Amino acid sequence: MAKIKYGYYPGCSLESTAKEYDLSMHVTAKKLDVELVELHDWNCCGASSGHCTNYELSLALPARNLAIAEKAGLNVAVACAACYLRFKQTNHDLKKNDVLRQKIEELIEMPYKGDVEVKHLLEVFAREVGLEEVKKRVKKPLKGLKLAAYYGCYLVRPPDVTQFDNPEQPMLMDNLLAALGAEPVEYTHKVECCGGSLLLGRVDIVQKLVDDICQAALDAGAQAIVTACPLCMANLDTRQPKTKVPIIHFSELTGLALGAEPKQYNVWLKKHINSPVPILKAKGLI
C-alpha cells in the first residue's frame, strides 16, 4: 500500500478541551501508517459564528488554511466535523464562483486555486486505509463492547457539500467499530443535532438535545457513545442532565484496538468527564 500523507488540521478545540482527541489521533494514524503533517501556522475556521454573521469571513478563514495546504502540496485531513464542513463549504462555493474566489484570494493575500481535497480522518482510516487493513492490524478486539456511533450534523449534512455517507443512515463509523471487534447498535439519534454552537448561549436547549441522544443510545443497549467531533464530544460529555453515558472519540477506540500503550491511553481516558474507564475495564480492554 502506498504511503498515505495528509496536511493535518486539528482545529482549535484539539489544543485545549479535546486534547485527548489530538493525542489519540496521532497514535492511531501512526499505527495505520498515515503520515500527518500539521499545517503550518493554521488559524481558526470561524466555525458557526463565522457563517452565522459574515459570509465572506466564513470563506476567508478556512481559505487561508486551504491555501497553506495548497502551497505545501498537501490534501487536508480534518479532525473536527465543524471545521470539515467549513472547509468543504469553502471549496464548494469558490469552485462555482470565480469572482468570489479572486476576492477571497485578495482577502487572504495568497493564491488559492480551490483544488485541495478535504477529508475527515474517519474517512481516511475507514475508507482510504480501508476496513480490511484495519481489521488485519487489530491487536485487541473490542469484544463485547456495545457502542452507539454518533455522527451528528456536519459530517453528513449538507450531503451535496460533504458527500460523506447517507445523510439519514450513515454507516461508515459503525463499520469501522465493527472492524475493531465492537458491536455497533442500531438507534434513532445518530444524525440528530447535539446543540452545537449553543453550548454556552442556550444550555437549556443543549441539555434537552443531549438527553434525547443519550437516552436513545441507552434504550438501544449501548454502553458508550462514539463521536468524531470535539464539539459533539464537549456537548455530550459535559451537558448530560440525567444520564452518565461515557462518550469516546473514535480515534481513542481505534488506537486502543490497534494496541496503544497504557501510558498513551491512560492520558486520553482520564480527560473525560463521564469516565469510559469502568466499562473498558469490565470488558478487559485496559
d(CA 37, CA 137): 23
200 touches other proteins by CB under 8 A: yes
- Per-residue buried b or exposed e for 113-150, using 16+ beta carbons within 10 Å of the residue's own CB: ebebebbbbbbbbbbbbebeebeebbeeebeebbbbbb
Q: Which residues contact 126 (CB under 8 A, 6 or more apart)?
A: 134, 172, 173, 175, 176, 179
CB atoms within 10 A of CB 55: 12
Which residues partner with 6 through β-bridges?
Answer: 36
42 touches other proteins by CB under 8 A: yes
Q: How far is the CB of 157 from other proteins (least distance, A)?
A: 4
Q: Which of residues 123-182 bind other proteins (CB under 8 A)?
A: 153-154, 157-159, 167
67 touches other proteins by CB under 8 A: no
Strand order in the sheet with 224-227: 183-184, 146-149, 224-227, 247-249
Q: Which of residues 210-239 bind other proteins (CB under 8 A)?
A: 238
d(CA 259, CA 24): 12
Among 39, 60, 145, 172, binds other proteins (CB under 8 A): 60
CB of 51 or CB of 135, closer to other proteins: 51
Which of the stretches 27-35, 99-107, 131-139, 244-252 binds other proteins when contact is defined by CB under 8 A?
99-107
Residues 259 and 139: beta-carbon distance below 8 Å: yes
Q: What is the DSSP letter of 14?
A: G
Which of the stretches 140-148, 178-186, 254-262, 264-272 binds other proteins when contact is defined by CB under 8 A?
264-272
71 touches other proteins by CB under 8 A: no
Among 4, 5, 44, 181, binds other proteins (CB under 8 A): 44
270 touches other proteins by CB under 8 A: yes
24 touches other proteins by CB under 8 A: no
Among 184, 195, 246, 255, binds other proteins (CB under 8 A): 195
Among 119, 272, 279, 280, binds other proteins (CB under 8 A): 272
Residues 173 and 226: beta-carbon distance below 8 Å: yes
Residues that contact other proteins, how many (by CB under 8 A)? 56
Residues 151 and 228: beta-carbon distance below 8 Å: yes
Binding footprint of other proteins on the chain (CB under 8 A): 12-13, 15-19, 41-44, 46-57, 60-61, 64, 103, 106-109, 153-154, 157-159, 167, 191-193, 195-198, 200-205, 209, 238, 270-273
